[in-house]
Amino acid sequence: MTKKETYKIILSGGGTGGHIYPAVAIANELKSRYPNAEFLFVGAKDRMEMEKVPQAGYNIEGLWISGIQRKLTLKNAMFPIKLVSSLWKARKIVRAFKPDFAIGTGGFASGPLLHVAASKGIPTLIQEQNSFPGITNKLLAKKVNKICVAYDGLERFFPKDKIVKTGNPVRKGLLNIEDKTVEAKNFFNLKHGKNTLLVIGGSLGSRRINQLIEKELDFLDMQNVQIIWQCGKLYYQQYKIYNNTKNVQVYEFLNNMDFAYAAADIIVSRAGASSVSELCIVGKPVIFIPSPNVAEDHQTKNAMAIVEKDAALLIKEEDLDADFQNKFSQLVSSSEKQKALGTNIKKLALVNATNDIVKEVENLLKK
């Protein structure tokens, strides 16, 4: 393959940042290798990818698709209609764009697109971020050519001969954040020499983490910390009042995640797969608060894989009221504990994930 060749590559994934950012990272790496390549993203019409992908500089088409709810709802009744509509539109998109390759990073929109591409004999690859796969990738596994994973033991769900352990792609700007600390603290107008707590509840925000931080603001003030708090789009109107509180900055969404991580001394985070992968690369002390509302409690499993190596702390939602103050005060008062956790989590980073996934794409394109 020479760089002069023009490839057409279609990428699909979304619903949350955990599906969007890996797709963007893969596209960016492919674009750097093949500047003449054409890229098209496919997402769900009303989800955050319709905003975030164009911000990253790529075109996106939307499908009328959503997930199946756990309880009986009108949305569930609409699911078969949405699925047929999405398969029809996916066929139309594939026919018009004529991709040489299709990549899926999870989320319901990637299902119809990858199904259509694989059925037309287009080389396909899916990237599974979690220790427990979502329903879309499980259904696609038999059809696609290659499955890139971030955890061991996924042969329980996927054909063993298709699996390659690569890790999860992360945003390139996170690879050298230690060089950005001073610039980052200035960017957020933070006091140098004062501990900074970064709170991230996932790209959509976390009700329970937001409730915790609101309840503990006086305690955190007593711990002499300044706070960067990403509360999420769904909760910003409720929590933005705390921007008037000394040493507290509330954000709907942080577009400068490299600066947010660089400025932080301690991080409180959900344990979605992409977040865990990013935090390993960032190498800061983390308190994980996994979401209990996910399939097979996979966020707890993601976090435990780190905690078992003495590389992070974990507090279950049900234990927050009893344990948060104790665990946080012990951590913030011990620079040795902070350093040990940061060093240990950094050892678990798979920094070449994006390159390794793109290598698999190139291998399939050569065939």
Binding-site positions for UDP-N-acetyl-alpha-D-glucosamine read 16-18, 130, 171, 203, 299
- b/e map 137-150, b = 16+ CB within 10 Å: beebbeebbbbbbb
CA distances 6 to 35, 199, 200, 216, 334, Å, are 8, 42, 39, 54, 54
Distance (Å, whole) CA 279 – CA 289: 13
CB 137 within 8 A of CB 126: yes
Which residues 6+ apart lie within 8 Å of 326 measured at CB?
Answer: none
CB 117 within 8 A of CB 10: yes
CB 279 within 8 A of CB 267: yes
Binding site: which residues? Answer: 16-18, 130, 171, 203, 299
CB 315 within 8 A of CB 324: yes
330 phi and psi angles, rounded to 5 deg: -65, -40
Strand order in the sheet with 225-230: 248-251, 225-230, 195-200, 266-269, 286-288, 313-314
